[in-house]
Amino acid sequence: MVKEYGTIVHEDLNVLGLARSGVAKGALDAGWGQFLQILAYKAAEAGRRVIGVDPRYTSQDCPVCGHRERRPLWVRKFTCPACGASLHRDVAAAINVLAKARAEPSGMAGALGAPA
């Protein structure tokens, strides 16, 4: 990823909190925290940026119209009742994560053509 992308964006997850809450029991097993540390190190070494964004509502907001609707995690298809957009839940969340990175003050303003 570091060789291919100048900026890498991810949800700034509280890995320990997720593991303790039972929401994501495998969060520690997957080594997510260690992966992010290695990614940040390698990106800095290559002159790349890694941006963590607030994960709140990324899988609940429609990336097309912004409508927010809470759904159980087992629902994998995102269908917006407001505009009819239909995407895989993870794709919708990824679009929202990127949009947050572009919009947040410490994000990517100017990095990907977004206004500074």
Tell me the pLDDT tens digit for each residue of 45-74.
999 999 999 999 999 999 999 999 999 888
Do residues 72 and 98 share a domain?
Answer: yes
Classify residue 115: in a domain, yes or no. Answer: no
Given a contact cutoff of 8 angstroms between Cβ atoms, the answer to whether 116 and 110 are in contact is yes
Nearest to 84 by CA among 70, 59, 67: 67
Residue 22 lies in a domain: yes
- Biggest alpha carbon distance in the chain? 44
Give kind and range of the element (H or E) at residue 103.
Answer: helix 89-103
- Is 58 part of a structural domain of the chain? yes
> Is the same domain home to 28 and 69?
no
Which residue segment(s) compose the domain that 103 sits in? 54-108
pLDDT of residue 66: 96
Quick one: 88 exposed, middle or buried, by C-beta within 10 A (0-12, 13-18, 19+)? exposed
Residue 40's φ and ψ, nearest 5 degrees, are -60, -40
**In terms of domains, do 30 and 63 share one?**
no
Q: Write down which residue in 49, 64, 86 finishes a domain.
A: 49
For the chain, what is the domain count?
2
pTM summary value: 0.76
